[in-house]
A = this chain, B = another copy of it.
């Protein structure tokens, strides 16, 4: 096949007609598919149901420390749940607070707390500041950006590179501007690109010297154990100990949950931080709750027991979703591999494939897909304010549909990429 850019106008016109005919045929199929959100499939959820058989009316609901998990108390989580979440994050239980079902809520609460009360006692609450800025590696996670947008922060785009965000830029920005108060990071199998931070990136992040002493790294370790190839798992350095080593123990808040390990909505979520940070966090918790759902914490610990149990579950997930990722990648490669109209990288974990279209084409491709019955994540969603400056990035979420549906959706997707690219090239000729 010939790269589209090398085609003459005549060839493109001819090609466009063929593609339009194919698109018409696809539309006639009346597809109704959704590749928009990173949701586990029914089969993934079915694979964890044994967890629901562990606690019944005859069970002992006491924790290892003899505490009745059915009653009030244990505001920051039961110890064995701290231990489990610490193992997932690669830290120790002393660094961990276990919350309710959502790590997104912890991030929201955390930013809200800093906004209303300041990061540490004595710090100026962000609501009293003229301007708060936030670093946003892009493409990134739309729900992160939605939180910082809600709190009126000015979001600064930081390009992602092969081994994490552009650290040169980050180091320079945080050193010179004390209104920059934080950065969103998904350090492993990033959303949407599946990029994992190199050791050097983690070390440079941990060694940042921000001008704002109340700057924090929001380290959303959302895909810590979410390997597509469990035999060759990607591992990243533990940010908490790297920060300690760099003399920056308080620089980071780390987040994780079991939403994509056990149940999306009925999992457990946790935060890890330094003792000084945890003091502030507990001071807030003490006011806002008498404790989270400890029965669900206990249920998780009884089922998984430890990291090994979690890894076994994630192997079951990998079996289920790896074929879907590979099917999409195979179709991308087969249909677009030599055309020069789109780029992607094979992810080794996480929930997404990130597709880079030609400039100015992403929105049109997503619209074409939608018109033919395939919902993709909105183009732009992977950028702050929903605005992708070059209109190139499209996030593909292959986990939820069945393999057959995924294949149909991907076939339509590549057709739309071709069609929109041809139209764009014709505009330019």
The minimal Cβ–Cβ distance linking A56 to chain B, given in whole angstroms, is: 5
| Selected interface stretch from A179-187, A283-291, A312-320, A374-382 | A283-291
**CB-defined contacts of A101 to chain B, threshold 8 Å:** 100, 292-293
Q: How far is the CA of A42 from the CA of B259 in the complex (A)?
A: 31
Report if A265 contacts B (CB, 8 A).
yes
Q: A116-B127, A287-B146, A293-B296 are in contact. Are A264 and B72 (CB under 8 A)?
A: yes
**A window 311-358: CB within 8 A of B:** none
- Asked if residues A265 and B127 are in contact (CB atoms below 8 Å), the reply is no
Partner of A57, one of B50, B59, B72, B264: B50
The minimal Cβ–Cβ distance linking A60 to chain B, given in whole angstroms, is: 11
Q: A57-B52, A116-B151, A263-B295 are in contact. Are A105 and B70 (CB under 8 A)?
A: no
**CB-defined contacts of A42 to chain B, threshold 8 Å:** 68
Chain B residue nearest to A37 in the complex (CB): B72
Q: How far is the CA of A45 from the CA of B294 in the complex (A)?
A: 14
Report if A203 contacts B (CB, 8 A).
no
Report if A165 contacts B (CB, 8 A).
no
**A window 353-402: CB within 8 A of B:** none
Report if A104 contacts B (CB, 8 A).
yes
Report if A108 contacts B (CB, 8 A).
yes
Chain B residue nearest to A291 in the complex (CB): B265
- Asked if residues A265 and B287 are in contact (CB atoms below 8 Å), the reply is no
> Which A residues have a C-beta under 8 Å from some C-beta of B?
37, 39-40, 42, 45, 49-50, 52-53, 55-57, 59, 68-74, 100-102, 104-105, 108-109, 112, 115-117, 125, 127-128, 143, 146-147, 150-151, 259, 263-266, 284, 286-296
9 A-B residue pairs with Cβ-Cβ distance under 8 Å, sorted by A, are: A40-B71, A52-B56, A73-B265, A74-B265, A116-B116, A116-B127, A125-B127, A265-B294, A296-B296
